[in-house]
Structure 1
Amino acid sequence: MKPCIAISALLFLSLLIFHNSEAAIDCNTVLKDVAPCISYLKSGNGSPSTACCSGVSTLASAASTTADRRAACSCLKSAVSKINPNIAAAKGLPGSCGVSLPYAVVPSLDCSTIS
């Protein structure tokens, strides 16, 4: 009986550990946050809107773990490939909004390298 309880306890603990390492952020949230930035990213002209910068700031705050940052990166990378943005505008967006991100969103980005 004791080995069964020990195995059950180990299984439960491993589930907790693996569950906590998953990203809490999802693509729908990421895309909703950056949707106001699409016209700016496509044109690359002017400055990002207040709504865009608010979304970038919200996303930066929400992506607080490595798993979250990698998930957000993957979502953004996928979106970038679909809208074909001005690369300079995409790279400069966080800075233009006064937000620090640990990566620049470009099509060649390897999201698995983000910590």
Structure 2
Amino acid sequence: MAVVGNRKQLMSLLLLLCVITSGVVIPPPWAEAQVTCPGLINTLLPCAVYIYNGGEVPATCCGALKTAVDGLKTKQDRQSACQCIKEALGKATAEQLKRIQALPGYCQVPVPFPISPSVDCSSVPKRIN
């Protein structure tokens, strides 16, 4: 019974996260990002169970993280992704925040901005090193 409840809660939280963050980033028309928050959240769905419950990081999560980072081609993409993640982190518990912050190191996928609820997304670098 608890597993079913946890799955319903997880899906509800993911749906809420997509709805809440879907309109957060509205870049000016001359600098439209190709990365959208709902698209980014959808790409990172394989990480959701780990983020919410802990345990082992699924290999599909690391692949999803790499795919998401590889898609950040422009500064606007990186700033949009940064803002999306920042908004999502504001709703995370302390334990979830720790797990999210550990993913780039665990997966050996460098993220081009600090994963922090207080990051200044306007200072995201122009290119990924």
Q: How many residues align?
A: 97
> Residue 69 of structure 1: which of 63, 78, 101 is its match?
78
Alpha-carbon distance in 2 for matches of 1:85, 1:38: 15
> How far has the Cα of 1:63 moved from its partner?
0.6
State the partner residue of 2:52: 42
> Residue 34 of structure 2: which of 5, 24, 36 is its match?
24
Task: Look up the equivalent residue of 1:29 and give its one-letter code.
Answer: G
> How far has the Cα of 1:85 moved from its partner?
5.3
State the partner residue of 2:69: 60
**Greater Cα radius of gyration, structure 1 or 2:** 1
Task: Look up the equivalent residue of 2:120 and give its one-letter code.
Answer: D
Alpha-carbon distance in 2 for matches of 1:31, 1:113: 22
Q: Which one scores higher on RCO, CA 8 angstroms, separation ≥ 6? A: 1
Q: Which runs of 5+ in 2 are unaligned?
A: 1-27
> How far has the Cα of 1:54 moved from its partner?
1.3
TM-score (norm 2): 0.65
**SS of 1:74's equivalent?**
helix
**Taking every aligned residue pair, what percent have the same amino acid on both sides?**
31
C-alpha spacing 1:55/1:20, structure 2 compared with 1 (3 Å): farther
Q: Which runs of 5+ in 1 are unaligned?
A: 1-17
Q: CA RMSD in A?
A: 2.0
Report Cα offsets for 1:12-31 as digits up to 9, x if no partner. xxxxxx85632111111100
Alpha-carbon distance in 1 for matches of 2:90, 2:48: 12
> Residue 91 of structure 1: which of 88, 101, 104 is its match?
101
Alpha-carbon distance in 1 for matches of 2:94, 2:103: 11
State the partner residue of 2:13: none
TM-score (norm 1): 0.72
